[in-house]
């Protein structure tokens, strides 16, 4: 288990990046055994991407349940798109197999959302957390000075405006 960073920190990533959300939903529990190849394929993709940082994935976090979600951070949409279409990578054969075996039969739902984020058009705060999410993908700095408030982290103030924590303490 990663050690927690026991202070307020802000994510710091250079340049534009992509947030890619992807997941699956089990619709028919009695066909759960047919989901295992999908899960194995996703695991193989993540293993491949982590072993080859030049492919462009910066970091991944995931949570399971009936509907799963995986959050991936990518260097660019071009990297993500190239990986999805590469005949030499794990994804394309897995995607072809999914469409052949499951397709639109209703057994399992799959989904993804892609967000292209421009440099300095994001803000993130963490406290008493290990390196996580965007802070793990790009790095972090103490949430002090300009990074003290959400408006400051977005470059819309000097950070001298009242952080929510201070407002709540005053009530």
- The hierarchical CATH code for the domain 17-117 is 3.30.70.100
pTM of the model: 0.87
Contact by Cβ (8 Å): 57, 142: no
Residue of 33, 157, 44, 25 whose CA lies nearest to 94: 44
Q: What is the mean pLDDT of each run of 10 residues along the chain (171 residues)?
A: 87 95 93 86 95 97 92 98 95 91 90 95 92 92 89 85 60 48
Q: Domain boundaries in the chain?
A: 5-13+119-170, 17-117
* Burial class of residue 110 in the structure, from the number of CB atoms within 10 Å of its CB (0-12 exposed, 13-18 middle, 19+ buried): middle
Strand 5-11 and strand 57-63: pairing?
Answer: unpaired
Kindly give the residue spans of alpha helices, DSSP state H, lying in 14-72.
36-51
């Amino acid at each position: 288990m990663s050690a927690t960073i026991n202070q307020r920190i802000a994510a710091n990533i250079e340049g534009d990046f992509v947030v890619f959300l992807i997941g699956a939903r089990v619709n028919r529990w009695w066909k759960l055994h047919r989901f295992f190849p999908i899960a194995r394929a996703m695991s193989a993709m993540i293993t491949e991407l982590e072993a080859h940082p030049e492919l462009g994935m910066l970091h991944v976090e995931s949570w399971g349940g009936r509907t799963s979600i995986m959050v991936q951070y990518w260097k660019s949409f071009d990297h993500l798109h190239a990986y999805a279409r590469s005949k030499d990578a794990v994804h394309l054969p897995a995607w072809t197999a999914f469409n052949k075996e499951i397709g639109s039969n209703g057994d399992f739902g799959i989904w993804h959302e892609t967000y292209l984020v421009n440099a300095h058009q994001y803000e993130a705060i963490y406290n008493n957390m290990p390196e996580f999410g965007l802070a793990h993908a790009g790095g972090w700095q103490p949430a002090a000075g300009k990074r003290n408030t959400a408006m400051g982290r977005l470059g819309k103030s000097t950070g001298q405006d009242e952080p929510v924590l201070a407002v709540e303490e005053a009530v």
